Every structure is written in C-alpha cells, then in structure tokens.
Structure 1
C-alpha cells in the first residue's frame, strides 16, 4: 500500500512526508508481523487464507491466498524488521536527494513483493512474488 500511496501522492506529501509515511507503514507491518508471530509461532494457530479463485480450468484450479505457518512468520519478522531499518536509514542517508520519493516507492514495492513471496500459498503466487522482487531489485539497483 505504501508503494502506491508514495508513488502516486508523493509529490503532494513532499519528500519528508512520503519518507515518513513509507517508514511508518513498514514499521506498522513489523508490529503486525510480531503479533502474527505470537499467534502462529507461540500459540500454534496456523492459518491458510484463501482470498479468491485466481483461475479455474477443468482439473487445474489455483487460488490467491496467504499461508501463515511457523516458517512464514519467522520470515515475516526477518523481512519486516530489516525493511524497517533500511527505510529508517534511507530517510537520513538520502534526505537531500531530490528523488527520495521515487526511491521510497521502489523500496516499499520491493518489500511488498518480498512479503508476497514469503506468504504465498502456491507456486504460481510465489513465482509472481519472485519476479516482483527481481523487478524491484532492478529498479533499486538502477536508481
């Protein structure tokens, strides 16, 4: 969500506002990941959430959903904590860069696709997350 908001409304929010919004969004995601870690990792409540049927073709059916098991929630903690720290560091390191808004949008997009990759419940969705991470990495490297 923060990648879209910063990408489309970043000029309206300004460099500082868009950076703070992106960093706060990722920090909130880290807090929610910690809660999910408590529920799944410590209480043992595993969850497989089906959002919608992606495609249904005879015997081949694929749905869009999220899988939350022990490995997933540990990776959620790792991804969101590292991403929160990278966002926070980027705020001060790139504070004078005129393209901070675009960079924060790319960084948030990278985090989004990484979370899609980690929480995928099937290989097709995992592939989309993997390719999204590749595209976002390309955008960040070429920044």
Structure 2
C-alpha cells in the first residue's frame, strides 16, 4: 500500500503536493453510462431487476452495417451479426477540445477518454460534506 494511505496513519499528501487545509476532503461518487440508456447506478440496478437486455441495432449514423453484414456469415471481412450493445449518445457530441484532445485522438483514441466526460456529467450528483 502506498505510504501516504497507510491505515491508522494521518493522511500525508504525495511528495510534491501541498495541502493547505487541515480537514481532509473525500469525494465519493459513482457514475456510469451503459447500453440500454442506463445513465446512473440506480438506473443500472433497476435495469437488472427488470431483467432487460440492451442488445439493439446499430444507431443511425454510427457506421454502415450493410457494408459489413452477410446473413451467411461465411464471407471474409463480413459478419452475420447486425447489432450489438451501443451507447445511445451521439458520439459526435464529445467535446474533445474541452479535454485537450485533438481531433485525431478523439476519432482514433482509446475509449477511456470517455471517462472524463462521464465524470463531469455526474459531478453534481456527488455527495459533499
């Protein structure tokens, strides 16, 4: 365990980080955005209780499924699956400039950068003391 988070020891900020408050601050929250139009932990719980399935067709404008689909599924470069599990958000609405991500990275980068947007969308729901 990191030396600045040892149980039973006072909080010590990591080397090079200054602390100007005597009261420790802890931000605790949870957020999610999942297929099936699930946008919060409580919606996920209800989704599971209702035994729903998020499988669906490719959202319009996402990509041309017709260019990759073959009912037989035995043709090279094609699939016999014409759906999947998709977020309903318009992926073109991602504000890459806000997060300092250039257009190439936003188009071809890793999906993990989506977490930043998710954090900012759920920040108002965090409990605060």
Bin of the TM-score, shorter chain as denominator length: under 0.3
Q: Which has the higher helix share?
A: 1
TM score, norm. by length of structure 1: 0.25
TM score, norm. by length of structure 2: 0.27
Larger-gyration structure (1/2): 2
